[in-house]
């Protein structure tokens, strides 16, 4: 039996219209799963529906307090169980020094990244229990859950919070056979982190030196990790993370110079993260 055949399995992907969520949705569809996608943007929802005509695409805002129960009703009606929950929605929202964030902005970043994820997970656990043992939750965090990032402090705190939640929930759900893991991407080319906008042309010459494996990520890189984590190949894997990062976390401050020499004292230009007006 092919462990990466998801025929008969139902997968819910939040934010499956573009980017990493779309890459994950495409991969599960290719592997035979029944797709349910929650997507806020009507155009993106229409595009993913056109690509996967048998998928159930719900146009909704996962931050809306009523959405998790609504989606649970859809999953119940379509399949009566949920095999895989992919909590993908997240956004840095405001790239600003911590001292410049208002209280409302802090709340917005927290709810966009961890608040909605907790509510969605709570709503789906009864349906994941129906598919257990063997069902699983995959939370998309970030490499910033495992290292610091300037001007995205609250985003990084929320992502680190999800990593902690992943570990503790994994313990609670292990006895019933539901696994919980996270995928932590480094910079991945998506509409949220559009590399052609983020990296000015003059800075692109040595892009292959910044990440040990010589390139930035694509949504397909995360999709590969998601398929593995959801599959029986990972049946003894829970409460942990896969860093989908081309080796960036291992490298920490080490990069290669244009001539291929390794250094931890590089002279580089910025990538656009700066205090407004600076």
Ligand X SMILES: NC(=O)c1ccc[n+]([C@@H]2O[C@H](COP(=O)([O-])OP(=O)(O)OC[C@H]3O[C@@H](n4cnc5c(N)ncnc54)[C@H](O)[C@@H]3O)[C@@H](O)[C@H]2O)c1
Binding residues vs ligand X (CB under 6 A)? 14-15, 17-21, 38-41, 44, 61-63, 88-91, 140, 142, 185, 187-188, 190-193
**DSSP per-residue codes, 30-98:** HTTPEEEEEES-HHHHHHHHHH-TTSEEEE--TTSTTHHHHHHHHHHHHTSS-SEEEE--------S-G
Q: Of the listed 146, 151, 155, 228, which one is catalytic?
A: 155
* Nearest partner of 94 among 278, 276, 277, judged by Cα: 276
- Cβ proximity to ligand X: between 46 and 237 the closer is 46
| Least distance in angstroms from the C-beta of 51 to ligand X | 13
| Least distance in angstroms from the C-beta of 61 to ligand X | 4
CA 267 – CA 278 distance, rounded (Å):
19
- Cβ proximity to ligand X: between 102 and 271 the closer is 271
Residues 25 and 224 sit within 8 Å (Cβ to Cβ): no
CA 278 – CA 260 distance, rounded (Å):
32
- Cβ proximity to ligand X: between 63 and 249 the closer is 63
- Cβ proximity to ligand X: between 96 and 132 the closer is 96
| Least distance in angstroms from the C-beta of 192 to ligand X | 3
92, 122, 147, 150, 153 from 95: Cα distances, Å: 7, 29, 16, 8, 9
Active site residue 146: no
Active site positions, annotated = 155
């Amino acid at each position: 039996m092919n462990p990466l055949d998801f025929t008969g399995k139902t997968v819910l992907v939040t934010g499956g219209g573009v980017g990493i969520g779309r890459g994950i949705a495409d991969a599960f569809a290719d592997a035979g799963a029944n797709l349910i996608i929650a997507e806020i943007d009507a155009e993106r929802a229409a595009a993913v529906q056109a690509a996967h005509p048998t998928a159930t695409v719900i146009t909704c805002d996962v931050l809306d307090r009523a959405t998790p129960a609504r989606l649970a009703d859809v999953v119940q009606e379509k399949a009566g169980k949920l095999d895989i929950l992919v909590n993908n929605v997240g956004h840095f929202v405001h790239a600003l020094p911590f001292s410049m964030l208002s209280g409302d902005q802090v709340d917005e970043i927290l709810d966009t990244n961890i608040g909605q994820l907790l509510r969605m997970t709570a709503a789906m656990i009864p349906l994941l229990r129906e598919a257990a043992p063997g069902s699983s939750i995959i939370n998309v965090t970030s490499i910033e859950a495992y290292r610091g990032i300037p001007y995205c402090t609250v985003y990084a705190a929320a992502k680190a919070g999800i990593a902690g939640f992943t570990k503790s929930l994994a313990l609670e759900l292990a006895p019933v056979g539901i696994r919980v893991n996270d995928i932590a991407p480094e910079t991945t080319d998506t509409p949220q982190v559009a590399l052609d906008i983020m990296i000015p042309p003059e800075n692109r010459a040595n892009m292959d030196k910044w990440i040990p494996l010589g390139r930035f990520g694509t949504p397909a890189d995360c999709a590969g990790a998601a398929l593995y984590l959801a599959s029986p190949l990972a049946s003894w894997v829970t409460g942990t993370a896969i860093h989908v990062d081309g080796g960036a976390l291992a490298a920490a401050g080490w990069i290669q110079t244009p001539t291929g020499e390794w250094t931890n004292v590089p002279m580089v230009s910025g990538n656009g993260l700066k205090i407004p007006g600076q």
